[in-house]
Chains A and B, each alone.
Chain A
């Protein structure tokens, strides 16, 4: 068993609008001269610390938790999971 840091990034599924990202892009960033920025998406990240036997198990365990406890609503959002050694 080892300790792992698992980062869960929650963001809206493609095709689902992201009004916050659009406002930050259009009213804050593009207002200045940073016109090379074409898109900003908002996301939320949860960082789990978990003890499992290996990275693969850590990832699947966290995925299971997120699905069961409804960390994200699959109707609207998708999650990306990244695992790091603690």
Chain B
């Protein structure tokens, strides 16, 4: 247990006595950082969470958006960082399980999974490779078995994650608004635990997530069982259709303790339960263990006595365990018994409302001079640098990862992984575009602008498919909040996201905070991960084949912003410089113009500039379409810059458009009208990726050679290094 002594005193005074050991376990679980958000909750309120499309229900773990015609989309994001650093396969797999159950508990069928994976330097570190490989297999095995397509994600490597792992999983669900579970409880209702049996898994798990990895708690390993999870999905959908569910909550961190107390508090009821009724995997489990066990694949359901029989027969059909563990009371207590003996009886309000901390913050000393650049060696051969970048783990194609994920099951995937954002078709003729993005390199050197950058990048990606951003998920991952400098970076990121969300009217519909991500080597870089959902009313922009003579147009200015770039960090091994800053006005103009153009079916392809800058973005277009392009660097709009800065700066709000010559005039008229910065910078033809400045050749690469390197590097590194 890890209640701090001050918290223990607080608990004693709140309940007016010394707590029993069971009560202590329950409160320690619920008051842990992972469950209570005590360090961050006070500040998370600043995020805008309302909007015309946002639907709020009590007790929900996922966010809900109205997508029209009586349909809704749900979304949630979760992380399993600590367990994955210790046992990556099980950690990643059970991460998928957890987020999928959150989607299910709103009453929607999960239709897609996304994973954000971050590890140490896989070129040098065998441990990082091992973690990466196994995490990918974990996500693949679990998602594939569930029959839910994993259609998008991110993979990044940075030395700050040495001996650690960030495994973030997001899921999206879809269903009819009328089928959303309106969490409520009636007099006489019963509380049912359904799903896998309860064992000693992960005992101490959620508390473990709030300690740093030095105090390894071995029992925090969780064994995934996607088969039973699949059965749970089908059973719950059937139970939902038969209107058998009054309230539902999935069991995640803190197990029964958190699920029962949070349900009681949200519904304003009391729950009296008997641990002897819980279907267990092991004999002689102590009530304390039963209450904090983090055995996977379990759901808590509140239903009436009359509807119970039907629910039980559905569970029998799907051969999943179903125990009536308690009943609804109208006091406000969480009352845990074993047979006749009471082991815990406390107000749900006390359990579910940990005292929120008001932690101090201080601007980190390292930020004082971080934007200063140092003098670098002059580079003569940018072609060689390009090949190095294309082979680098952060830029190389991630096909080795996503080809292990079944991304076609469900037959909704219209734009497949590998594009800017994946797109799913919905039942009402609309389309959903989703992307998650993080950038710890930028967030380290400028927490505020870096976080805004992630948000804008995710928006750019969905915009490239023709989608209008309608909601955001945020996953805020930082080191210890008890360090005022780290806490400052957390607050700055949060404020940045809030400002962008408010200005662009994109509500935050859900998210998570994961703190204490540290190893003996130190804290991770600030890693806010932003997921954006976009809606397409008519037709998505499915990338078309580039042919000889097609034009390349850039929208948006390129600035002197190499801070946090792959070029600085991978090639020059330098951390620092000017972090790219999003200009809200330009960003909005550019986004709307791209959507405008796509709606009028003018571009063949829209592709955003991000990691590796303009050089990599152009190369990606050429390699994917097996065609060359000659780009004039002197034509690139923006600041007057040296060649390397134009090529590799990772300035935001920039898009590349591939346009048929015959549509150029139309495009120019629209962009001029919108007062957007743009320029035709090249033409597609031949077999070479070329960047020239006036007549000087800066980069000259063969498309086929570049493609071979880019496609195979990551797989080769993981399998044969």
Task: Give complex CA distance A18, B282 in Å.
Answer: 12
Give chain B's interface secondary structure class.
loop
Q: Does B87 lie within 8 Å of A17, measured CB to CB?
A: no
Interface string of A13-45 (1 = CB under 8 A from B): 001111100010011000000000000000000
Task: Give complex CA distance A18, B197 in Å.
Answer: 12
A12 within 8 A of B: yes
User: What's the least CB distance linking A71 to chain B, in Å?
Assistant: 12
Q: Does A75 lie within 8 Å of B282, measured CB to CB?
A: no
Interface string of B212-227 (1 = CB under 8 A from A): 0000001001011101
Q: Does A76 lie within 8 Å of B227, measured CB to CB?
A: no
A73 within 8 A of B: yes
Q: Which of B130, B223, B227, B319 contacts A17 (CB 8 A)?
A: B223
Find the residue from A15, A19, A23 having the highest chain B CB count within 10 A: A19
Task: Evaluate whether A17 and B199 lie within 8 angstroms (CB atoms) in the complex, with A70-B130, A75-B218, A75-B221 already known.
Answer: yes
B86 within 8 A of A: yes
Task: Give complex CA distance A26, B321 in Å.
Answer: 13
Task: Give complex CA distance A15, B201 in Å.
Answer: 8
Interface string of B493-512 (1 = CB under 8 A from A): 00000000000000000000
Interface string of A48-59 (1 = CB under 8 A from B): 000000000000
Which residues on B sit within 8 Å (CB–CB) of A70?
130
Which residues on A sit within 8 Å (CB–CB) of B319?
26-27
Task: Evaluate whether A17 and B221 lie within 8 angstroms (CB atoms) in the complex, with A23-B227, A75-B87 already known.
Answer: no
User: What's the least CB distance linking B651 to chain A, in Å?
Assistant: 43
Q: Which of A18, A19, A26, A76 contacts B221 (CB 8 A)?
A: A76
User: What's the least CB distance linking B496 to chain A, in Å?
Assistant: 38
Task: Evaluate whether A76 and B87 lie within 8 angstroms (CB atoms) in the complex, with A17-B225, A19-B228 already known.
Answer: yes
Task: Give complex CA distance A75, B223 in Å.
Answer: 11
Task: Give complex CA distance A23, B512 in Å.
Answer: 34
Please give the number of chain A residues whose Cβ is less than 8 angstroms from any Cβ of chain B in the complex. 13
Please give the number of chain B residues whose Cβ is less than 8 angstroms from any Cβ of chain A in the complex. 19
B90 within 8 A of A: yes
Task: Evaluate whether A15 and B228 lie within 8 angstroms (CB atoms) in the complex, with A26-B319, A73-B87, A75-B221 already known.
Answer: no
Q: Does A17 lie within 8 Å of B86, measured CB to CB?
A: no
Task: Give complex CA distance A76, B223 in Å.
Answer: 9
Closest to A27 in B: B319
Task: Give complex CA distance A76, B281 in Å.
Answer: 17
Task: Give complex CA distance A18, B281 in Å.
Answer: 11
Which residues on A sit within 8 Å (CB–CB) of B200?
15
B281-321 contacts to A (CB < 8 Å): 281-282, 295, 319
Task: Give complex CA distance A12, B87 in Å.
Answer: 13
User: What's the least CB distance linking B297 to chain A, in Å?
Assistant: 9
User: What's the least CB distance linking B313 to chain A, in Å?
Assistant: 18
Task: Evaluate whether A76 and B90 lie within 8 angstroms (CB atoms) in the complex, with A15-B282, A17-B281, A19-B225 already known.
Answer: yes
Closest to A23 in B: B227
User: What's the least CB distance linking B438 to chain A, in Å?
Assistant: 27
A-B contact pairs, 11 of them (CB 8 A): A15-B282, A17-B199, A17-B201, A17-B225, A17-B281, A19-B223, A19-B227, A27-B319, A75-B86, A75-B87, A76-B223
> Chain A interface (Cβ within 8 Å of chain B)?
12, 15-19, 23, 26-27, 70, 73, 75-76
List 13 additional A-B contacts (Cβ < 8 Å) besides A16-B221, A19-B224.
A15-B282, A17-B199, A17-B201, A17-B225, A18-B223, A23-B227, A26-B319, A27-B319, A73-B87, A75-B87, A76-B87, A76-B90, A76-B221
Closest A-B pairs by Cβ, 7 of them: A19-B225, A17-B223, A75-B221, A75-B87, A76-B221, A15-B200, A17-B199
